[in-house]
Structure 1
Amino acid sequence: MKRSLSFLICFMVLLFWSSCRKDFEFSPSTGELRFERDTVYLDTIFTDIGSSTYTLKVYNRSDDDIVIPTIQLERGTSSFYRLNVDGSTGSDNVIGTAQEGRFFEDVEILAEDSLFIFIETTYNTSSDPIPSNEFLYTDRILFDSGNNQQDVDLVTLVKDAIFIYPNRDENTGIIETLTFDVDGDGTSDETTLQGRFLEDDELTFTNEKPYVIYGYAGVDAGKTLTIEAGTRVHFHANSGIIVTDGGSLNINGTLSTDQEALENEVILEGDRLEPIFQDVPGQWGTIWLFNGSENNTINYTTIKNATIGVLSEGDQATSNDKLTITNSQIYNSSGFGILGRATSILAENVVINNSGQSSFAGTFGGKYNFTHCTIANYWNSSFRQFPALLLNDFIVDENNTVFTNDLTAANFNNCIIYGNDNPEFLLEDEGSVFNYKFTNCLLRLNPNLFNTGNYQIDDPMFYEGNVFNEDPDFEDPFENLMRIGEDSGANGLGSAIFASQVPFDILNVSRATSPDAGAYESVVFDED
């Protein structure tokens, strides 16, 4: 009886309290909304590629529950912006029409409360011509109308681009894959790599517009892809360039006067242009120099945010190096900066840093000559298994069978090999030919390994003129600023013999006097 009486009293109190509430008596907005910001910048997008989602918070600072009669885009149904207001894409009567995401009616906000507006954009070239290669696209979100109208500006930079992508079968939806001789038997093989071979009129990339590549852009036998100075190439996820048997890649960047803009360098990176993606590793695949490709050159190029910056396979026995890479930088590779497999690479003035595994790995033997290079690894995004530099002469198949191949040469002259782990170079051999030598290099090696195994640092056949474990004094290696300061252990370490072969550093500074090890000559850093 007491419980029933208590329930009855509580019910009557609740009923009386509810009848007095004014929470659901919404008043029209009076134009006193407050906004998180007065302009939403959606950063940079390519035509026909959607942006990330951006947010705008709208506040009701009054003591009254209010209703906003309309929220809409000023350009109306022709706008390339889309809105979502607190989970709604628009009024019920316009869902599925051109007004969806562009027009909202009777939007309620409680007293001292707020709502979120989510904003996206895609500039559709089939609906509107491109006014220029790069232009600002703007619109406004209008809240209410008449004397109560308020607005927030929307701004995004739109870039026109040249798109390269594989064909899709209209009936099956299957995307084209590459077919080429994979195993060297003279017969073309079907692969699972989505992509297509470049046509003859596509084999020169210029700096007139950026390029956006979906899937792998293939370079066929007897063809050469030339990428001119100042070109920007952007890759979608799981995309890249593959140079097959008999094909070549020539990337011809030149020295830039502005080391932030890098106006003359070729830059290869992902296709997400928002600042949050600027240094995210693993956004795209690799530059794949397949077995049989030849005379590949890379000069004044920045390769960033790939899975593997450059993958070079095979052809170690040819008289010419399979890859010559000079004056170039490779950063933020989720796997390897450069991965060589039984291949031949000549590198000068190359900087590699921030790799999820090794910055340079010469595996399954090969022939490698690196002069005045900075091979560093300050990866801090996860645990990495391997050091900055890895050399071995074997592979292990799925049956745990070991296959060996000669490491005919691995010479590192006037180089820096360093990082935030120790040791930062690993030498593993299983065969009879394993030739390597470090000359006038700054190396990071745990002293416990001195004069053990392949670390006979007192043997001039393998080590000569090196310095171990001294601070390289990098400007900021975690931000890929790899210049060295005047207190660097690499300062004055270089041999004049090798410096004469590469007489200028990556910034075109002379090495004529007391050359330093690494790709950069030392500088005095600003105190700030």
Structure 2
Amino acid sequence: MRFLLPMLLVFSALLCLLPGCEPKEDLVTTDNSAKLEFSADTVLFDTVFAQVGTVTKRLWVYNRNARAVKVSEIRLADTNPGTYSLLINGDETRIANDLEIRGKDSLLVLVKAMLGPSATENKPFLVDDRLLFSTNGNEQDVKLVAYGQNAYFHGPEEHISRNTTWPKNRPHVIYGVVVVDAGVTLRIQPGTRIYSHAGSVLFVRGTLRINENTNPSAELTPTDTATFVRFQGDRLESFYADIPGQWVGIQFDSCSSRNNLVRFTEIKNASFGLLIFNRLNGPHPRVTVENTILRNISGEARSFGGGSGGQSFEGAGVFGISGDFDLRNCLFTNCGEYAVRGIGGTYNLNYCTIANYTPIFRRESASLWFTNELADRRAAVPNAVRVTVDNSIIWGFSSQTDDELFFKNGNTYRANLSIRNSILRTKEYSATMDVGDKLGFNNNGNQVGIEVDPKFKSSPARSFGNKFDYRLDTLSPASNKGVFNSAIPRDLLNKTRSVTAPDLGAYERVNP
């Protein structure tokens, strides 16, 4: 008996040397009925900027057969030579030979596209190819399709040193830091699209004028492309459409930037939408913002101005350190830290909608947040904060706060605060009058409501998905509760406001 176990082990080893003991999945079949299957019949690249590489796409090649197959060749048809490149088994190649795929196993092929300029100049163009597979005499293919677009490229250390207009005939792509020099004006035509690479900044030392002479004659649609200038990240795959923090934002220099105007504009995917960093409290830059949407804004703590005494700041739709902002007909939504944050400076909001639900963030701060404290250890004392909110909706939801409004040390600059004819989500300031250091803004009968749901047409609180409409529902308590301002006779989409009883917020109510 003592020799039985060693004999069994030897016998088992000998059996494994026989052909019949080789695992079936390792046996290579030459049957021409053994074909491959693919995770997709077409590898599709969304719009790709000419001369800029795309994100890598994955194609899985499946062997559904019980036995292994040998792929004698994988290659590009090269219908458009030099456009597509492959990565197979870690090697960048255009042709791969004699690749074995075990039974019931798969192979991963990575595909990238690099498009050259098209003769169509300013129009989108299509560049296609085929990825060919030869297996046991079978010829199979997967289509490769990329939609290309020529673009103007700016950066990475570009200085705009003379008055310049960015035309709308092609997209503009910003890489790195693009500086508008002091004394220089950059104008942007209606309908222009600006795509910003990771870490990029448009730094305005001079003047930025967007849509300065645009006066549409008719009401616009939410998807208007002829009028609105749109800033966003340069990752054009649908997955990135609503991802914040893909680029830094637009910064205005505190020393020399003046007379800035941002109209009919959408700014999204940034860490900061519009930023004034005036740490030394010099002359205040002023930015007028009209008919503008700031969405999907969030950023990690960041330092500005060549260092700020160790102080860093989180993202915000509008962020001012001793800067002045006039905000009219503006929508703020999905701002992960702040919609508007002011450390000193003047902030005038009229007919604005703050709909800051932030469903993908754990937001712990109020959407509107102000203080008169020092910006950092080296800062001068900021001017007292001045805040005016008229005909607006300050709303949103965060599981971490019951307030979308906060004034730090507000009692020390109470005389500079005015909130009228607005809906507010706040418990901190829900009293009808000030009591000691506790401020109350539900006073003089001029508030439409504290903690009164404005009832948007659709929002994360009322519907599913990620496409929301912050115009007012037909039963909204914000309807017909505003005070007409002749300087702002139309809403964000250029719809005429009621002279006798306009609606609150950025949108005049849609008719039932």
2:387 paired with 1:410 = yes
More displaced stretch, 49-58 vs 472-481 = 472-481
Q: Secondary structure at the match of 1:407?
A: coil
Deviation, structure 1 residue 483: 1.3
Maintained 8 Å contact 2:72/2:99: yes
Root-mean-square deviation (CA, aligned residues, Å) is 2.8
After TM superposition, where is structure 1 displaced by more than 6 Å over at least 4 residues in a row?
Answer: 315-318
2:406 paired with 1:426 = yes
CA offsets 1:175-225 (integer angstroms, 9 cap, x no match): xxxxxxxxxxxxxxxxxxxx3311427x21010111111112111121101
2:504 paired with 1:517 = yes
The match for 1:149 is 139
Deviation, structure 1 residue 43: 1.1
Q: 1:524 to 1:18 in 2, by over 3 A?
A: farther
Q: 1:412 to 1:402 in 2, by over 3 A?
A: same
- Residue pairs, 1:89-100, within 5 angstroms: 89=91, 100=92
Q: 1:116 to 1:321 in 2, by over 3 A?
A: closer
The match for 2:262 is 298
Q: 1:274 to 1:11 in 2, by over 3 A?
A: same
TM-score by length of 1: 0.82
2:447 paired with 1:465 = yes
CA offsets 1:71-128 (integer angstroms, 9 cap, x no match): 111017923111223x243xxxxxxxxxx52211122223333322221111245xxx
Q: Percent identity?
A: 31
Deviation, structure 1 residue 471: 1.2
Deviation, structure 1 residue 42: 1.2
2:318 paired with 1:338 = yes
Q: Secondary structure at the match of 1:464?
A: coil
CA offsets 1:416-469 (integer angstroms, 9 cap, x no match): 001103111001127844411110000001278635544313544xx8334111
2:162 to 176, 200, 204: 200
Work out the CA distance in 2 between the residues paired with 1:267 and 1:492: 30
Q: Secondary structure at the match of 2:222?
A: coil
Maintained 8 Å contact 1:329/1:350: yes
Maintained 8 Å contact 1:405/1:431: no
Work out the CA distance in 2 between the residues paired with 1:111 and 1:144: 17
Work out the CA distance in 2 between the residues paired with 1:408 and 1:69: 72
The match for 2:293 is 329
2:355 paired with 1:369 = no
Which residue identity does 1:469 align to in structure 2?
E
Work out the CA distance in 1 between the residues paired with 2:146 and 2:194: 21
Segments of 5+ residues of structure 1 without an aligned counterpart are: 90-99, 167-194
The match for 2:173 is 212
The match for 1:381 is 360
Deviation, structure 1 residue 156: 0.7
CA offsets 1:324-349 (integer angstroms, 9 cap, x no match): 11001001111100001111111110
Work out the CA distance in 2 between the residues paired with 1:138 and 1:76: 7
Deviation, structure 1 residue 514: 2.3
Work out the CA distance in 2 between the residues paired with 1:225 and 1:490: 38
Q: Secondary structure at the match of 1:149?
A: strand
Which residue identity does 2:149 align to in structure 1?
K
Which residue identity does 2:242 align to in structure 1?
D
Which residue identity does 1:233 align to in structure 2?
I
CA offsets 1:18-53 (integer angstroms, 9 cap, x no match): 655553334265573222222111111111211111
The match for 2:312 is none
Q: Secondary structure at the match of 2:257?
A: coil
Which residue identity does 2:150 align to in structure 1?
D
2:471 to 483, 492, 497: 483
TM-score by length of 2: 0.84
Maintained 8 Å contact 2:192/2:230: yes
Q: 1:226 to 1:396 in 2, by over 3 A?
A: closer
The match for 1:177 is none
Work out the CA distance in 1 between the residues paired with 2:422 and 2:34: 68
Work out the CA distance in 2 between the residues paired with 1:240 and 1:408: 27
More displaced stretch, 140-149 vs 296-305 = 140-149
More displaced stretch, 406-415 vs 285-294 = 406-415
Work out the CA distance in 2 between the residues paired with 1:136 and 1:493: 51
Which residue identity does 1:121 align to in structure 2?
A
2:269 paired with 1:310 = no
Work out the CA distance in 2 between the residues paired with 1:48 and 1:427: 48
- Residue pairs, 1:15-164, within 5 angstroms: 15-16=17-18, 19=21, 21=23, 23-27=26-30, 29-30=32-33, 32-75=35-78, 78-85=81-88, 87-89=89-91, 100-125=92-117, 130-133=119-122, 134-144=124-134, 148-164=138-154
The match for 1:444 is 425
Q: Secondary structure at the match of 2:289?
A: strand
Q: 1:351 to 1:454 in 2, by over 3 A?
A: farther
Q: 1:148 to 1:20 in 2, by over 3 A?
A: closer
Maintained 8 Å contact 1:507/1:520: yes
Segments of 5+ residues of structure 2 without an aligned counterpart are: 299-314, 461-466
2:194 paired with 1:233 = yes
The match for 1:188 is none
Work out the CA distance in 2 between the residues paired with 1:257 and 1:456: 38
The match for 1:165 is 155
1:352 to 315, 329, 332: 332
Maintained 8 Å contact 1:164/1:214: yes
Work out the CA distance in 2 between the residues paired with 1:408 and 1:397: 16
